[in-house]
Structure 1
Amino acid sequence: MNILITGVSAGFGKAIATDLVEQGHTIIGTGRRQHKLDELKTKLGDNFIPLCFDISDISATKTALQSLPADLLNNLDVLINNAGLALGLDSADKADITDWQTMINTNTLGLVNITREILPVMVAKNDGFVINISSIAGNYPYFGGNVYGATKAFVTQFSLNLRADLVGKNVRVTNIEPGLCGGTEFSNVRFHGDDERAKKVYENVDYITPQDIANMVSWLISQPKHININRLEVMPTAQTFAGLTVHKG
């Protein structure tokens, strides 16, 4: 298969790309850090094609995709919208507005940009698969989740609406909604490089790993084409959504 994955520089994207190349697929991997893409190219070889650009920039997205060979671009089988980030964990009244804007631009606008470019290709060949990486933050609010949770709720709802629009076009859509995941740069980015604070998030927890998510993606694309898995919500056993808070004055 020809598979486009956004955000392959680290975490989920890197694990997914590595697994799928090893399985014999051709991977187009996007990211903003050229040196990270170069490292993956060295590791994965000719079946990995790096594209360095910011998906929140629609012009850069178009230019990068148009740089691909036409026979590859017009024969994409799977789009995995993985690129995304969380910034800050302050309450909404104290949050940094630039953090909010960055999350909106990457998690929603960037995902929409690249999806809109690829969907016509899949519809034209009457075959394709879009896998979006959302989060349980889009389903269950938590303190400090504010805009990050809202962007992931957007991804979840967008995925459902894609399914509605793509009926009869043989293009599948799955939304993966992970809970607490370690072994990524997620919390390091959220806490603006405070590695010690990030480390504490995962202490004494048997969390979800990037490999776990990569395994799910491999399973999804191996399913028969007449089957569409709408949503996969996954948490570590140690995590739950229970526990409504009541403040008593």
Structure 2
Amino acid sequence: MTKTVLITGATSGFGAACAEIFSRNKWNVILTGRRKDRLNNLKKKLGKFSSVYTSQLDVRNSDEVEKLITNLPQEFRDIDVLVNNAGLALGLDSADEANLEDWDIMVDTNIKGLLYCTKSVLKTMVKKNSGHIVNIGSTAGNWPYPGGNVYGATKSFVQQFSRNLRADLLGTKVKVTNIEPGMAETEFSLVRFKGDSKKAEKVYENADLLQPEDIADIILWVVNTPERVNINTLEVMATCQAWGHLQVHRN
């Protein structure tokens, strides 16, 4: 029986890589994102491998999310896996200098958007006693760094929400996994620095960092583990990245 996956933020990075690997493995894929042209290109590219449904979506809008789920074609209504990938970082300023609007956008996308999407599919998963919620967290939710203030806090929320979901779902066969990537070579920094490609390129300079396909491979493995296995949390860094020393300010 063909399974169905819903991937948010599918137009780039981890989301686009997940779209490709699930499609190539013959899953029905529902792809959402804000860039319609990229969604159309994905549908053309992946339609030869599996059934693809795309929808322009801003996960921050709960009405849009509910409308998407309610109006899915029959072929796509039985969602087996939700990959909550939509998210972003904006700015790298210290908290006293940061832009409050940037903070609002990160909270609305990384927290509230994830909640809206999860809530929209969860009741059906519990009813059929089957399903998997895969949340994309970050090492930033575990380890602080200067300028990571609200972004890191949103990813800490994702971690704790994932744990509490597991507690709520005890006794069902619905799984929850929080994937926590470290530095990865995606459009993440381009978005963080609001289109400043020079700043973004500097982040990835001379480093063999995680690629979107690496995370997509891990997610596909996670959702294909036996029914008795739940991967609670999986933190992954590039080999070239590790924890730094604790900083000390000296007069």
Q: In structure 1, how many angstroms separate the alpha carbons of the residues matched to 2:175 and 2:131?
A: 6
* Pairing partner for 1:66 from 63, 70, 77: 70
| Unmatched tracts of structure 2, length 5 or more | none
The corresponding residue for 2:81 is: 78
CA deviation after TM superposition for structure 1 residue 71, in Å:
5.6
- In 1, the alpha carbon distance for the partners of 2:239 and 2:160 equals 25
Please state whether the residue corresponding to 1:122 is helix, strand or coil: helix
- Matching residue within 8, 16, 19 for 1:17: 19
Letter of the 1:237 counterpart: T
Match of 2:44 among 31, 42, 45: 42
Equivalent residue, structure 2, for 1:129: 132
The alignment's TM-score, normalised by the length of structure 1, stands at 0.97
Q: What is the SS of the residue equivalent to 1:176?
A: strand
Look up the SS of the partner of 2:67 in the other structure.
helix
Quick check: 1:2 aligned with 2:4? yes
**Unaligned runs of at least 5 residues, structure 1:** none
| 1:64 alignment partner, SS class | helix
CA–CA distance in structure 2, aligned partners of residues 29 and 158 of structure 1 = 23
Once the two structures are TM-superposed, the CA of residue 47 in structure 1 deviates from its matched residue by 1.3
2:201 aligned partner:
199
Q: CA deviation at 1:88?
A: 0.2
Displacement, 1:72? 2.9
* Alignment-derived partner of residue 61 in structure 2: 57
The aligned residue for residue 29 of structure 2 is 27
The separation in 2 between residues aligned to 1:235 and 1:189, in whole angstroms, is 20
Alignment match of 1:211 (pick from 210, 213, 228): 213
The Cα of 1:229 is off from its aligned counterpart by: 0.5
Partner of 1:179: 182
Determine whether 1:108 maps to 2:111.
yes
Name the structure 1 match of 2:167.
164
Within 2, Cα distance between the matches of 1:125 and 1:65? 16
Give the % identical residues: 51
CA shift for structure 1 position 69: 2.3
Pairwise CA RMSD? 0.9
What is the SS of the residue equivalent to 1:174? strand
Q: Tell me the SS of whatever aligns to 1:211.
A: helix
Match of residue 145 from structure 1: 148
Contact persistence 2:22–2:220 (CA under 8 A): yes
Task: Give the Å deviation of 1:201.
Answer: 0.4
Q: Does 1:91 align with 2:90?
A: no
- Number of equivalences: 247
Distance 2:113 2:15 in 1: 15
> What are the Cα deviations for residues 44-75 of structure 1, in whole angstroms up to 9, with x where unaligned?
115111011101100111112212024632x2
SS where residue 6 of structure 2 aligns?
strand
Q: Which runs of 4+ in 1 moved over 4 A?
A: none
Counterpart residue type for residue 50 of structure 1 = T
The Cα of 1:242 is off from its aligned counterpart by 2.7
SS of corresponding position for 1:119: helix
Query: C-alpha separation between the residues in 1 aligned to 2:55 and 2:245?
Result: 43
CA deviations over 1:149-193 (Å, ceiling 9, x no partner): 0000000110000000000110001100000000x1100000000
